[in-house]
Structure 1
Amino acid sequence: MRALIRYIRDHIKADFRAGLYALTALFAALLIGLNYTINIERGFIDSFRGSWLRPVLYFALYATAYYGTALIWNHFHPQQRILQKRRFWLHSLFGLGVYSFYAGFYAYNEWSRQLFDGQIYYFAYKCLSNTHSVVTLVLPLYLYYRIRDRDSPDFYGITPKRDGLQLYATMLLIMIPIVTIASFQADFLSYYPSYKDSNADEVLGVPQWVTALVYELCYGWDFIPTELLFRGFLVIGLQRVMGTGTVLPMMVTYACIHFGKPMGETISSLFGGYLLGILALYTRSIWGGLLIHLGIAWLMDSAAFLQKVL
């Protein structure tokens, strides 16, 4: 934990302004409160599934969160002049645009209906919803990297690094009692486990654990593009332009992608996004966040499953 404490201390020393953090917290609270009052995502944006308006509305949400926070940060760090830098706008607009397209993409719904004449629709839907990011998110980011950032040492922190493995393992151990306590909450059990029983094993003629494993692997994959975009593209990729300022706008936007989940998880994502952003910034790797994210996700699924079978 000493490394994490050192990273946090160094980051706060370089980035912290009382007014900046207070206004950012207020702005994030406003966005979260507004969503859970009028249900922005599930009640409004999701009503446009299958329409080109859905990615546009997601972009409006994410851009509001990102640029609103960036404006606050720029106010307290005027010497950085990030709003006058072409790279800041090009990089951030591309990243938010690609993620909005990924979030609003819904063609996999029809693909799922066509597989086995819809006999495994639910299973196919859940798997494809977690893996279409290969084409809708990872590929565009890689093309951008090859065209604009090929002088960077790696693909936005994707190169595995062994440094800090003990730190990440310790953080996961800390999360075990927290997830255990959360698993007793009704809103937690209404969302998890993310895999629901289906007839896919019967149609495919395989044991149920096989379809459950396939789903969990697809579910786990979805965290890779998320880390790549938020901690890799928006933090490591913009470090040369914004320095320590990459963390807060990413953090608030990251919280917004949790709007369809329980409020407690959305609020905790602010703290998680902040810590993972600092880790990515100082290690120039997304693997710490990826391992923690995957570990927590599978811990939550396991805890919810145990709650329902015991």
Structure 2
Amino acid sequence: MKSLLIEVINHFRSTFRWSVMVMIFMVMTAFIYFNYRLDFEDGMVDTLPFNYRVPAMFLFHLVPYLLTVLIIAPFIENKSWYKTKGFWLRIFIGFGLLALDRSIQFRELLSSYIDIADWSFLYSFSKRILSLITLVFPLYIISLFFEKSIPGRGYGLIVKRFDVRPYLILLSLAGIGIVIGGFFRDIQDYYPRYLELGGTAFARRHEIPDWLNVLVYELAYGTDFISVEMFFRGFLIYGFVRYFGPYVVFPMIATYCFLHFGKPMTEAISSLFGGYILGVISLKSKTIWGGVLIHVGIAWLMEFIGYLFRTI
């Protein structure tokens, strides 16, 4: 645990620049305000037809990434990053896969086969599993064949030894913040996802024991964070550290925050800080599994706190 904290502190000290911090703060504050004021992602981007939604989602995540790159550009050693074909190739392939993964909704394809009452629950369940195919698998194959010199093999997915103890301690500390966050109304209205998506009603309609339905859903919910960590703490860290050095964490957390724009604002803001810590840990440990463990643990704790507040 102590070594993880030292790594985070040392990274912050080595990359701290007032101009960088102030600019990122101003840009992200404006983006967060704009999104929640206009309901931009949920009300606009997500409602587009598939052929428009894919390019819109591509730009949705790419714009904050590149803006943050421009903010850190004066301080990175590699001044010719924008002239490198490999950089733009990684940008278009990676963000293209993310846009495709986030744009697939099945609604048009499966609406005639699935009862409308079951749609929200089944969609959420299947979408999380599908991300392993549409995002994790392609990135893994790309890393094995074209990224043999990166620090984290398989974008951090392949690791020989992994000590879980410091991450469990960090997760227990994060649990304190989760309990505090549970008192915010927007968090209470969003969690647990199982109930909000109609999981109990689905189990009743299909005569499935509710405990079994909860178990299957929460396991699927957990797998979703393998995809998240693979892209944000794997691909965006190991794939671009050659261009930005230790500053690679900052553009990652900007676009990672956008991933949370469909969630409560409290969670979107906290993702900047959590994303930074997980990014530094991934950069130093050369694996994403610490982030997966923490991320899944936090998600399940949020679900548990959500259940708890519903019963109080």
Q: Above 0.5 in TM-score?
A: yes
Aligned residues of 2:77 and 2:244 also touching (Cα < 8 A): no
**Alignment partner of 1:239 out of 241, 245, 256:** 241
Counterpart AA for 1:141: L
1:11, distance to aligned residue in structure 2 (A): 1.6
Aligned residues of 2:140 and 2:154 also touching (Cα < 8 A): yes
Q: Which residue of 2 aligns with 1:129?
A: 127
1: CA distance, partners of 2:203 / 2:112: 17
Q: Which residue of 1 aligns with 2:208?
A: 206
1:134, distance to aligned residue in structure 2 (A): 2.2
2: CA distance, partners of 1:286 / 1:78: 25
- 1:263-294 deviations in whole A, cap 9, x for unaligned? 11111000011111100111111111111100
For structure 1, which segment, 250-259 or 81-90, has the greater mean C-alpha deviation from structure 2 after superposition? 81-90
SS of the equivalent of 2:194 reads coil
- 1:127-154 deviations in whole A, cap 9, x for unaligned? 1121111222122212322431245562
Aligned residues of 1:130 and 1:222 also touching (Cα < 8 A): yes
SS of the equivalent of 1:245 reads helix
Aligned residues of 2:73 and 2:79 also touching (Cα < 8 A): yes
2: CA distance, partners of 1:154 / 1:76: 27
Query: How many corresponding residue pairs?
Result: 308
Aligned residues of 2:187 and 2:266 also touching (Cα < 8 A): no
For structure 1, which segment, 2-11 or 159-168, has the greater mean C-alpha deviation from structure 2 after superposition? 159-168
2: CA distance, partners of 1:131 / 1:293: 16
SS of the equivalent of 1:47 reads coil
1:222, distance to aligned residue in structure 2 (A): 0.6
**Alignment partner of 1:142 out of 140, 143, 147:** 140
Structure 1: 5+ residue stretches without partners: none
| 1:153-168 correspondence to structure 2 within 5 Å | 154-160=153-159, 162-168=161-167
2: CA distance, partners of 1:198 / 1:28: 37
Q: Which residue of 1 aligns with 2:298?
A: 296
| 1:172-187 correspondence to structure 2 within 5 Å | 172-187=171-186
Counterpart AA for 2:296: L
1: CA distance, partners of 2:77 / 2:176: 42
For structure 1, which segment, 69-78 or 282-291, has the greater mean C-alpha deviation from structure 2 after superposition? 69-78
| Structural RMSD (CA) | 2.1
Identity over the aligned pairs, expressed in percent?
34
- 1:83-124 deviations in whole A, cap 9, x for unaligned? 222222211222111111111111266437525x66743432
Q: Which residue of 2 aligns with 1:45?
A: 45
**Alignment partner of 1:250 out of 242, 249, 252:** 252
Aligned residues of 2:45 and 2:53 also touching (Cα < 8 A): yes
| 1:187-198 correspondence to structure 2 within 5 Å | 187-196=186-195, 197-198=199-200
Aligned residues of 2:77 and 2:245 also touching (Cα < 8 A): no
1: CA distance, partners of 2:256 / 2:221: 18
**Change in 2 beyond 3 A, CA 1:268/1:105:** same
Q: Which residue of 1 aligns with 2:61?
A: 62
Aligned residues of 1:119 and 1:203 also touching (Cα < 8 A): no
Aligned residues of 2:24 and 2:68 also touching (Cα < 8 A): yes
